[in-house]
């Protein structure tokens, strides 16, 4: 941990500590899927200077959470997404369609898992590597509970 991060942790300046931790792992945001059922996605790039891993990681939250459960711990420290990125993984953090930053539509609470699955397939298609598309892309899927 950077000495300035230790100092800030001691002073309980969590927002500043989080900004420092995330500054080393670039993150971009985009949506996949068709409106109004689109899914919000954060892409955390592998840290510079680290050997990039072959397969990315997709972090999927549980039913009553959002993708932010993977990005920051409650006390402001970096969560799993920036930690994986710092170790060379390309990380995708999602908010299910109808949840959090993905937006809301009237039937969100009564819709089944098909919209989530469709959005995850759209993410795989958008980020697929190699000539065989999503089948070629070996993913590690972590499901939050």
pTM of the model: 0.72
Question: Whole-angstrom Cα distance, residue 39 to residue 91?
Answer: 15
Task: Please check whether residue 4 lies inside any domain of the structure.
Answer: no
Task: Please check whether residue 111 lies inside any domain of the structure.
Answer: yes
pLDDT at 138: 46
pLDDT at 72: 93
For 66, the domain range is 26-143
Angle, alpha carbons 43-47-50 (nearest 5°): 135
The two structure tokens encoding residue 130:
């190699």
Torsion 57-33-108-73 (CA) sign: positive
Residue bearing the bigger pLDDT, 125 or 5: 125
Provide the pLDDT confidence category of residue 116 given band limits of 50, 70 and 90: confident
The two structure tokens encoding residue 58:
């997709």
Question: Whole-angstrom Cα distance, residue 27 to residue 144?
Answer: 21
CATH number of the domain that residue 85 is part of: 3.40.50.1820
- Mean pLDDT for the chain? 77
Task: Please check whether residue 12 lies inside any domain of the structure.
Answer: no
Total structural domains within the chain:
1
Give the best-scoring range by mean pLDDT among 96-100, 125-129, 139-143. 96-100
Task: Please check whether residue 118 lies inside any domain of the structure.
Answer: yes
Burial of 13 (0-12, 13-18, 19+ CB in 10 A): middle
Task: Please check whether residue 37 lies inside any domain of the structure.
Answer: yes
Contact 17, 76 (CB under 8 A): yes
pLDDT at 107: 81
Task: Please check whether residue 15 lies inside any domain of the structure.
Answer: no
Residue bearing the bigger pLDDT, 9 or 88: 88
The predicted-structure confidence for 25-46, as pLDDT tens digits, reads as follows: 689 999 998 888 899 999 999 9
pLDDT exceeds 60 at position 15: no
Cis amide bond preceding 27, omega within 30: no
Greatest Cα pair distance, the chain, in angstroms, is 51
Strand spans (E) along the chain:
27-32, 39-44, 57-60, 91-95, 140-143
Provide the pLDDT confidence category of residue 129 given band limits of 50, 70 and 90: low
């Amino acid at each position: 941990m950077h000495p300035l991060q230790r100092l800030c942790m001691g002073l309980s300046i969590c927002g500043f500590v989080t900004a420092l931790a995330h500054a080393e792992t670039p993150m971009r945001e985009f949506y996949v899927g068709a409106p109004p059922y689109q899914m919000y996605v954060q892409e955390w790039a592998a840290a510079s200077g680290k050997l990039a891993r072959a397969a990315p990681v997709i972090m999927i939250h549980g039913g009553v959470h959002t993708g932010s459960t993977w990005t920051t711990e409650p006390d402001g420290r970096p969560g799993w997404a920036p930690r994986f990125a710092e170790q060379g993984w390309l990380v995708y953090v999602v908010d299910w369609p109808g949840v959090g930053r993905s937006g809301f539509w009237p039937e969100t609470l009564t819709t089944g898992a098909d919209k989530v699955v469709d959005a995850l397939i759209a993410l795989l298609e958008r980020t697929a590597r190699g000539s065989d598309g999503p089948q070629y892309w070996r993913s590690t899927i972590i499901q939050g509970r």
